[in-house]
Amino acid sequence: GALLALNKPQGLPVLGQSGELSLDALLPALRRRLGLSAELHVVKGPAREYSGLVLLSSCYHTTKKLQQFFTSARQRGQYPVTYRAVTVGVPAEAEGEIRTGLQWQQQGDTAMVVPVPAPGRRSLARKEVKSTLTRYRVLGARGGCALLQLQPKTAFPEQLQVHLTLLLCPALGDHEHSSRVGRVLGVPFLLTPEATPSRTQVLDEKLLSRLGLSPQQVHHLPLHIHLQELVLP
């Protein structure tokens, strides 16, 4: 009917700034290519840093109805959005929930998303901090890496990356938050964001060999978080 699903590559924003290459800027060309009479609207899609499903609609009313469904589904405690992630490290528990407050924090010239383990009522009420929740399940593990199913109940920028670092299992290709997971004698532990500036992810020699990468090539490794499934009413 009115719906169209695409598979977006990692690094391409769905909604870009003026003059920036984005999926939204490509929609008129896509509409002509498909011979559609009506304009295409973005219903749902992953953030720039993720790959995966983008849902489009050529009917304005369908777009609004589905967007309202996704909002109300979260409020009802449902999980209509499912991601897959490859992680460096295997969670101690096969499944569970990650709960934490998240906020933007200025560090020098850049702003970064940091966890707030026990946010106060006042900071939540002022919306300085947002309470976030992601449900996870380990689908498989091999060679010190894992394939995880992630179902966020809340939406906050970089939520999935931060939640995976709190599991001590950063996503493969996460050059933003993985530096917060340190290791001593192979045992992972969490470092504070203030003490760990962002840097290219550090991978051990065995994993580099399996990936066919040299240490100099790691910064090209894309973030391995993929929007895999959207449940529709």
- What per-residue confidence (pLDDT) applies to 185? 81
CB 132 within 8 A of CB 102: yes
Q: What is the pLDDT of residues 136-151, one digit of tens each?
A: 999 999 999 999 999 9
Torsion of CA 51, 204, 111, 10, to 10 degrees: -10
pTM, two decimal places: 0.93
What is the CATH topology of the domain spanning 3-78?
Alpha-Beta Plaits (3.30.70)
Rounded to whole angstroms, how far apart are CA atoms 21 and 17?
A: 8
Distance of CA 62 to the CA centre of its chain: 25
Q: What is the pLDDT of residues 130-184, one digit of tens each?
A: 999 999 999 999 999 999 999 999 999 999 999 999 999 999 999 999 999 988 8
Residues of the chain with CATH 3.30.70.580: 3-78
Tokens at residue 150, please? 């992630």
- What per-residue confidence (pLDDT) applies to 107? 79
- What per-residue confidence (pLDDT) applies to 183? 86
Task: Write the DSSP symbol of residue 140.
Answer: E
Name residues whose C-beta falls within 8 Å of residue 184's C-beta, 6 or more positions apart in sequence.
none
Distances (CA, A) of 118 to 57, 99, 113, 115, 121: 40, 10, 15, 9, 9
